[in-house]
Amino acid sequence: MDYKGHVLVAGGIAAFLLVVFFPSAGLAESLLLLLVCCASSLVPDLDHPKSFASRLLNLGAIFSFAAVSIAILVSTGSFQSAGLAFLAISASWLVFSSLARPRHRGITHTVIFSIFYAIAILLSSQSATLGLFSLAGFLSHLAADLQFKLT
C-alpha cells in the first residue's frame, strides 16, 4: 500500500476514535489528533529509502543542514566555513542513513516497535491521548500491510 492509502486508513481510524471516544474534542484538538494519527501511519516506512516518509525526512534534514550552515555563515562571516559545514553534515547524514537504516519491513513493522514509538510520543508530549493516536496510526499501517509480527 502506498502512503495515500495508509493516510486514508489512519484518517478513518482517527475519525472513529474521535467520534466514539472523544466527542467533546474541539476542532483544533481534533485536527491535531487526526494529523498525529495520519503522520504516525507513515513511520513504519522510514526504513524504505524511497518511501514518502523517508523523502520528507531527508528534505527536512537538508533544510536543517542549510539552517546550521546559514547560522555558521552569520556567526563567522565565512562562506567557506558555511559551505564546508553543510557538506560535512550532509555527508554524515548520508552515511548514517545508508548504514543505519534497518531492512524494509523489519523492526519498524513490529508491534513491539509500535509500542516503543507510542511510549516515546507519550513521554515527550506528556499526553496519553497523543500516545493513543500515534499508536493507532502506527498499528493501522501494520494492519493495512497485514504485517502483524510481534518481533
B/e letters for 85-120, b = 16+ CB within 10 Å, e = fewer, are bbeebeeebeeeeeeeeeeebeebbbbebbeebbee
Residue type, 119: I
Number of domains the chain is built from = 2
Same domain, 42 and 113: yes
Same domain, 6 and 43: yes
Domain that holds residue 40: 1-49+103-151
Same domain, 86 and 63: yes
pLDDT digit string, tens, across residues 10-68: 999 999 999 999 999 999 999 999 999 998 998 888 777 777 877 776 675 566 566 65
